[in-house]
Amino acid sequence: MTIKIRLEKHFQESTFHNPMLGNALDTQQLEIRRDPLTGCQSVFNPRLEDKVALFFSPSDPALIERLARESESRCFLCGDRWKQMTPTYPAEVIPQGRIEVGQAVLFPNLFPVSQVHAVTRVGASHYLPLKEFDVNSVREALHASLAFVKSISSAMATVRFLSINGNYLGPAGASIAHPHFQIVGGDQPFTYLEHILERSKKYSGENGSCYWINLLEIEKETGDRFIGETGGVEWITAFSPQGTNEVLGILGQKRDFLEMSEEDMEGLSEGFCKVLKGYDLLGMSTFNFSVYSGPLASQDDSFRCYVRIISRQNVYENYRTDDYFLQKLLRNELILTTPESLASTMRKVFSAEKHD
């Protein structure tokens, strides 16, 4: 095999007198992983493996229900309120002003953070536990999001860098409980997208092959982090995660959003809901995700579309954020559940529902 992807681990030791062990000298082993494309590092201390509860206390269901109940009456995504309360696009961008697909509705964000910034309602329910996200609602929302991308591509040809994203619940950055996705984009890529597009191009130039295809090949060969396949999407856990419980779904045949089909959206929705069920099994209740695309219509063979999903802090009174200086300022991630153990949990969810 000529694949040049290197999955590097670096080991360190940290030694001190530990009062928990009668002040005996204690040496803890640290494993530092490096993402083979970006070089981003993550650190695993096996001694923290059974201490996940120190970092992520369980969600408080009564608190979630109270917050949901209190916000439902003023939610602009509930019922038909969006018809009065949400903005519309100019006719030359979206002829009907908004895009409706089943229960999904897409409209402009009132306070954009990018040249193009749309919001998509996901289903009619104001609040859903992660295990109740259904494939149909997610598919409708992705369908609306992709229809929007296609409209933007013809109405605003300079907008070539888009992504489909989401925050779920307060600790993950969502300002409303009602499930919703956000499409952001413009004439230049966001920092992370720019970085992975550049690195993918460099890899392709040096190796004469696509990093994302090669990554799937080695992950399928070793199997430690490979989860499964839904439609045209192949799912793995990240070797060096940049968020808690990071899962990637790679569309090996698609270079940008314009190449995506109904079948891809079906596969993406199915796998997405399974990952959320896996998070529920792990006791997590919030998430962030982004679906990345190569520049629209560029046919950039060094890149493949993929989704990156991470879980975030749970919902409870006075929760502590899961992002601290380590992530925000030093840009290293902390691994509490190893990618291999996470893949093992996810494989159970993916295979359990194969025959449903």
- Contacting positions for Zn ion (CB under 5 A): 75, 77-78, 126, 178
Q: In what order do the strands lie in the sheet containing 24-34?
A: 8-18, 24-34, 41-44, 333-335
CB nearer Zn ion, residue 141 or residue 227: 141
CA distance linking residue 201 with residue 303, whole number of Å: 7
Cβ distance 115 to 183 under 8 Å?
no
What are the strands, taking DSSP E only, across 35-179? 41-44, 99-101, 104-108, 116-121, 161-168
Compute the least distance from the CB of residue 126 to Zn ion, in Å. Answer: 3
What count of other Cβ atoms lies within 10 Å of the Cβ of residue 99?
21
Q: Which residue has the tokens 């999903």?
A: 309
Cβ distance 31 to 43 under 8 Å?
yes
What count of other Cβ atoms lies within 10 Å of the Cβ of residue 219?
24
CA distance linking residue 285 with residue 265, whole number of Å: 23
Token couple for 78: 């509930």
The 3 state secondary structure assigned to 301-341 is: CCCCCEEEEEECCCCCCCCCCCCCHHHHCCCCEEECCCHHH
CB nearer Zn ion, residue 176 or residue 284: 176
The residue among 159, 161, 119 whose CA lies nearest residue 141 is 119
Compute the least distance from the CB of residue 179 to Zn ion, in Å. Answer: 9
Token couple for 93: 């961008």
Q: How far is CA 48 from the centre of its chain?
A: 24
Half-sphere exposure of 129 (CA within 13 A, CB side): 14
CB nearer Zn ion, residue 54 or residue 85: 85
CA distance linking residue 55 with residue 283, whole number of Å: 12
CB nearer Zn ion, residue 124 or residue 258: 124
CB nearer Zn ion, residue 72 or residue 217: 72
Token couple for 24: 């005996």
**Helical ranges in the chain per DSSP H:** 52-55, 61-72, 82-85, 135-155, 191-207, 211-222, 262-281, 325-328, 339-352
For residue 211, give the 3-state DSSP assignment. Answer: helix
